[in-house]
Structure 1
Amino acid sequence: MTKSLLCEMDRALTEFPLLEAPAYDVAPSDLLRAVLEVALKGSNDPLVLAVSGGRDSMALLHAMARWAPQRIATVATFDHGTGSYATDAASLVAAQARRLGLTVVRERARTTAVNEAGWRDARWSFLRRVARGFTARVVTAHTRDDQLETIVMRALRGSGARGLAALAAPSPVLRPWLGVSRAELARWVESEALLYLEDPMNASLRFLRGRVRHEWLPTFAQSAPGFAEAMLALGERAAAWRRDVERLLDGSGIAVHANGGRLTVPARFLEQTTDGGRAVLWPAICARVGVTLDANGTRAAVRFTMSQRRGAHITLAGGATIERRHDGRGDLFEVRRAASHVAMWPVYEGPSEALPPRFGRWRFRRLGVEPLAHDAWCIGLPTGTPVVVRPWTEGDRIRTAGAPAGRRVTRYFTESRVPVLDRPSWPVVVVAGEPVWIPGVCRGLAAPSRPGRPELIWYRCEREFD
């Protein structure tokens, strides 16, 4: 046990010496129904039930089907491809869900992960896709015991308050059983004779969670009565603290873009606090676009905050970025998830009559008439001209009136204040092997857009999410 966990345990036991697990003198069905009603109150979202085939998740499946069937969008079950148990469990879920009159989405992993983190990532990738498809929230069967194990595991790894909130942290995921113990669920499952499969990995000591569950928590319970309740109380305090941080962010002017992959936050919001405050706020800000900051990333973000140079950026672990920029709202920090590689962007080759309606985050719109004034967002292309539309690459040059011998596109980007992080996805229109148009930036000498030519087809290019 680490020294930090011993200190935290001592403090928690001192503050919560008499806490005991709640005792319910009610029938299991009455307890679970009441818990479920409380969990579902205040939200009318359709729900995707994440069901693995184990006892806790099968209890969730049957409880929801009995007491709130109208809320179920679908049942989602994931076969990790790790052997016969995984396949049998997914088959049991599918059969039971259909027997209850529910739809099922079942998927098998394309590649087999080898550790807990890999299994979790694959499962959650699947669940999020299903939830997006049904415009619904995911519901899991995590219990009070799962919360306790997660708190202890995170304390052992040196997590701060943000991590110690564990499964009780603010989240779009609904966890109705989080205040219910496995023993209480087991009572109901046995009384209803519900079918389930016991995952053999639950008894394994190979992974940390198994060792915490079967070795360390029983030892803590014997040597320090009240340990579990103290740790759960610690987790609830951390969760309350995280809710306070989220409420502060809600009033900060933070704006998440429609694609969910980037956000902006006013620079003054972060500049007006201390380094300690920034160390609290940056992980919460980044989490809103699915970016997890480790200790090194948090330190880098804190140092970067006071940079006054617009257009500067830092790259975090995993390829996410933070950039400082300026627009009509003032100075901003923009956080982006890992950007797509240039090779993943499309390349169009075809006639001028049919430029692609969409090119990555861009849209080409055909105009009915010639624009009245010079506009770098518009161009006229002669009918029948072969055209290539591709992303900008380092080394691209364009000939313009100011530089007839050619000049690097990078310089025009800088003059037009195009952020460095936007450039790899910026479209370039090429005719006869030569760049003729950088939308919104410049048109080249070779651009066939002279006025008065009736055979020209006029286009306007627009950024789709701006």
Structure 2
Amino acid sequence: MVGPPRAVAVLRSAVRPGLRACDRPVLVACSGGADSVALAAALAFEARAAGVAVGGITVDHALQPGSAERAERTAELMRGLHLSPVLVRRVEVGSTGGPEAAARTARYAALAAAAGEHGARIALGHTLDDQAETVLLGLGRGSGPRSVAGMVRLRDDGAVTWWRPLLGVRRATTRRACADQGLPVWDDPWNADPAYTRARLRAEVLPLLEQVLGGGVAPALARTAELLREDLDALDALAGAQLTRLAGEAGDGGLPAAPLVDLPAALRRRVLRGWLHAAGVPDLHAVHLRAVDALVVAWRGQGPADLPGGVRVVRASGRLVLRPAARDGRPGPASAVREEPVP
């Protein structure tokens, strides 16, 4: 018995384990490009055997002429694959962070809302090549090890489960799978526009690296991301255990400073980050974390570390505590704990 073409088989094999591992419905995010169309087709085929409901969603960013018609054509393609439900969501794209970031923010908000409405997880068509580009972007921007570790295959953010089953599949394979199945593909002109950083990485930087280093660069970058992610996950688990212990000792929402001093920097900063996140501090950046860390390892009686969200961290009576930030030049409410003197 003759099986499907190789590229089609690769796509189906990639989605099969994750689809069968959970009986929750799936909504595949489909732009009409080769990656997401190939993913939609593979999920549609495997859904029968897995007994899992698979639908689709396409997002109209309304940024290009004819976007509404294109979104409807993508929806018709998904209906032809027998996905159900098939949703079309039109969004308003803001300007924060530039066009790429703003479009992504609007798109993910629409996907998250649809996931909540239908109790579904969202399947995304990011490939190994996308992972390599993400790693390079993280390296170039100095965004820290989590950024260099790239995208994860499965991420549950508490509200939505994001599933990327194609992170081990090459972009060329998804395009071949579409061709083998006679599926139409739309190539977004933004993906080739040199005005966008990721487009230049794709068209110029990665091919040059492949030429200079003799090939295999994209898989190597993806492999590096996976190894780094394993290390980071282990550190995060250790930090979580330390945070639970230290927060339990304090018992008042603060953290004792002395036990933190002897922790390795990578572990200590993760403990601090976890503590601040648990307290609801938003938009925490490296500069904020360094200021809080200095209250532990470089204590010289300095003032508090001001953080986003109108809060500050103060070292007082041997502990780190959170207080409201000063307003209108006046100090925040007085604390019942005593500020430590300069040694």
Aligned residue identity for 1:294 = H
Distance in 2 between residues matched to 1:290 and 1:58, nearest whole Å: 39
Q: Over residues 185-214 of structure 1, what are the superposed CA-to-partner deviations in whole Å (9 max), with x where a residue is unaligned?
A: 111110001123110111111011011111
Q: Are 2:47 and 1:68 equivalent residues in the alignment?
A: yes
1:52 aligned residue (22, 26, 31): 31
Name the SS of the counterpart of 2:14 in structure 1. Answer: helix
- SS of the residue corresponding to residue 56 of structure 2 reads strand
**Higher fraction of strand:** 1
How far is the alpha carbon of 1:223 from its aligned partner?
1.1
Cα RMSD for the two superposed structures: 3.9
The question of 1:98 aligning with 2:86 is answered: no
Aligned counterparts of 1:290 and 1:126: Cα–Cα separation in 2 = 25
Aligned to 1:248: 238
Partner secondary structure for residue 163 of structure 2: coil
Aligned to 1:301: 292
Which residue identity lines up with residue 110 of structure 1 in the other structure?
E
Listed one character per residue, the Cα deviations across residues 14-60 of structure 1 (whole Å, up to 9, x for unaligned) are xxxxxxxxxxx972222222111233354333323222221111111
How many percent of aligned residue pairs carry the same amino acid? 26
> Is 1:221 equivalent to 2:193 in the alignment?
no
Q: Distance in 2 between matches of 1:109 and 1:284?
A: 33
Q: Aligned equivalents of 1:208 and 1:232: distance in 2?
A: 19
Determine the structure 2 residue equivalent to 1:238. 228
Counterpart in the other structure of 1:278: 268
SS in 2 for 1:78: strand
Structure 1 residue identity aligned to 2:208: T
Residue 197 of structure 2: aligned partner:
208
Cα distance change on mapping 1:268 and 1:42 into 2, 3 Å:
farther
Q: What letter corresponds to residue 299 of structure 1 in structure 2?
A: R
> Distance between the aligned counterparts of 1:320 and 1:182, measured in 2?
44
2:180 is equivalent to residue 191 of structure 1? yes
Equivalent position amino acid for 2:40 in 1 = L
Alpha-carbon displacement from aligned partner over 1:133-161 (angstroms, at most 9, x marks no partner) = 33332220000000001111111112332
Residue 249 of structure 2 is matched in structure 1 by none
CA contact (8 A) 1:169 1:242 kept: no
Partner of 1:34: 13
Unmatched tracts of structure 2, length 5 or more: 157-161, 245-251, 338-343
Q: How many residues align?
A: 304
How do 1:57-136 and structure 2 match up within 5 A?
Answer: 57-68=36-47, 70-72=51-53, 74-99=55-80, 100-113=82-95, 114-136=98-120
* 2-structure distance, mates of 1:174, 1:287: 24
Question: Does residue 267 of structure 1 match 2:255?
Answer: yes
Cα distance change on mapping 1:101 and 1:161 into 2, 3 Å:
closer
Q: In structure 2, do the counterparts of structure 1 residues 68 and 314 end up closer, same or farther at CA, with 3 Å as the change threshold?
A: farther
| Counterpart residue identity of residue 237, structure 1 | L
Question: Which has the larger share of helix?
Answer: 2
Q: Tell me the amino acid that sits aligned with residue 284 of structure 2.
A: L
Shift of 1:67: 0.7
Task: Map 1:147-158 onto structure 2 (within 5 A).
Answer: 147-158=131-142
Contact 1:140–1:174 (Cα < 8 Å) also in 2:
yes
Structure 1 CA distance, aligned partners of 2:192 and 2:155? 29
Residues 1:223 and 1:287: Cα distance change in structure 2 (over 3 Å): farther
Partner SS, residue 105 of structure 1: strand
Pairing of 1:402-417 with structure 2 (within 5 A): none
Provide, for residues 55-89 of structure 1, a one-character-per-residue CA deviation record: whole Å limited to 9, x for no partner.
11111112111112643464222111102253233
C-alpha change, 1:133 and 1:188, in structure 2 (3 Å) is same
| Contact preservation (8 Å) 1:148, 1:231 | yes
8 Å contact kept, 1:170–1:243: no
Q: Please report how far the alpha carbon of residue 179 of structure 1 lies from its aligned counterpart in structure 2 after TM superposition.
A: 0.2
TM-superposed CA distance for 1:316, in Å, is 3.0
Separation in 1, partners of 2:40, 2:321:
43
Confirm or deny: 8 A CA contact 1:313 1:321 kept in the other structure: no
Residue 340 of structure 2 is matched in structure 1 by none
| Deviation of 1:285 (Å) | 6.2
Q: 1:89 to 1:332 in 2, by over 3 A?
A: farther
Deviations 1:199-248 (A, max 9, x none): 01111110110111111111111111243333222211111122213433
CA distance in 1 between counterparts of 2:253 and 2:16 reads 37
**1:262-281 superposed Cα distances (whole Å, 9 cap, x missing partner):** xx987359836244422344
Please state whether the residue corresponding to 1:84 is helix, strand or coil: coil
Looking at structure 2, the residues matched to 285 and 196 of structure 1 have their Cα atoms a distance apart, in angstroms, of 46
Q: Distance in 2 between matches of 1:101 and 1:231?
A: 34
Aligned-partner SS, 1:166 = coil
Contact 2:153 2:163 in 1 (8 A): no
Amino acid at match of 1:58: V
- Cα 1:229–1:293, aligned 2, differ >3 Å: closer, same or farther? same
CA 1:65 to 1:157, structure 2 compared with 1: closer, same or farther past 3 Å? Answer: same
Structure-2 separation of matches of 1:171 and 1:144: 17
Match of 1:259 in 2: none
Question: 1 or 2 for the larger relative contact order (CA 8 Å, sep ≥6)?
Answer: 2
1:90 to 1:204, Cα distance in 2 relative to 1, 3 A = same
Partner of residue 145, structure 1? 129
Contact 1:170 1:242 in 2 (8 A): no
Structure-2 change in CA distance of 1:111 and 1:177 (3 Å): closer
Letter in 1 for 2:205: W
Alpha carbons of structure 1 residues 129 and 218: separation in structure 2 relative to 1, 3 Å: same
Amino acid at match of 1:215: E
Q: Distance in 1 between matches of 2:212 and 2:128?
A: 21
Structure-2 change in CA distance of 1:314 and 1:108 (3 Å): farther
